[in-house]
Amino acid sequence: MTDDFKTQLQNVKDQYYLDAGGGISLPVAGAIYWIALAALSRYLPPADWALTAAALSGMIFPLGLLLQKPLASPFMKSKSPIAGVGLLSVMSINMLWPVHFIVLDISPDAAPLSLAIGMTLHWPVIGWTYGSRVCLIHAIARVAAVSVLWYAFPEGRFDVLPLTVAALYLLAAGGMRWELGRLRRKKGLQATAMTEQPA
Separation of alpha carbons 196 and 199, rounded Å: 9
| Start-to-end Cα distance in the chain | 31
For the chain, what are the domain ranges? 18-185
The 3-class SS string of the chain reads: CCHHHHHHHHHHHHHHHHHCHHHCHHHHHHHHHHHHHHHHCCCCCHHHHHHHHHHHHHHHHHHHHHCCCCCCCCCCCCCCCCHHHHHHHHHHHHCCHHHHHHHHHHCHHHHHHHHHHHCCCCHHHHHHHHCCHHHHHHHHHHHHHHHHHHHHCHHHCCCHHHHHHHHHHHHHHHHHHHHHHHHHHHHHHHHHHHHHCCC
Q: What pTM, to 2 d.p., does this model score? A: 0.90
What is the residue-level pLDDT of the chain in tens, covering all 199 positions? 677 888 999 999 999 999 999 999 999 999 999 999 999 999 999 999 999 999 999 999 999 999 999 999 998 888 888 888 888 888 889 999 999 999 999 999 999 999 999 999 999 999 999 999 999 999 999 999 999 999 999 999 999 999 999 999 999 999 999 999 999 998 775 555 444 555 4
**pLDDT, mean over the chain:** 91
Q: How many C-alpha atoms does 107 have within 13 Å on its Cβ side?
A: 8
CB 62 within 8 A of CB 90: no
Which tens digits make up the pLDDT trace of 68-98? Answer: 999 999 988 888 888 888 888 888 899 999 9
